[in-house]
Amino acid sequence: MLEHLTTETRNEKTMNLDEMSIFDFLTTMNEEDEKVASAIKKELSSIAKAVEAIIEAKKQGGALFI
């Protein structure tokens, strides 16, 4: 069911973390972490709209279920 989601696929760059030097391990993890901020930056407008909608719903007595 979730196999088609990119979040559920293996990352080729991190398949052999246990075989890397500590420096290479840390470099790889840092490079992958940098992708998160970049991806979020691209979606800030959509995220802001979602937060605004949640705030408005809460003001009207709504609830947020995660």
Q: Give percent of the chain with pLDDT exceeding 70.
A: 94
Task: Provide mean pLDDT across the span 23-52.
Answer: 96
Q: Which residue has the higher pLDDT, 10 or 22?
A: 22
Q: At residue 12, does pLDDT exceed 70?
A: yes
Cα end-to-end span (Å), the chain: 20
CA torsion angle 16 18 23 28 (round to 10): 40
The mean pLDDT of 50-62, rounded to a whole number, is 96
Q: Please determine, for residue 58, whether its predicted confidence score (pLDDT) is greater than 70.
A: yes
* CB-based contact 30:16 (threshold 8 Å): no
Calculate the CA 37 to chain-centre distance: 8
Asked whether residue 11 carries a pLDDT value surpassing 90, the answer given is: no
Residue of 29, 35, 34, 2 lying closest to 16 (CA atoms): 29
1, pLDDT greater than 70:
no
- Domain boundaries along the sequence of the chain: 20-66
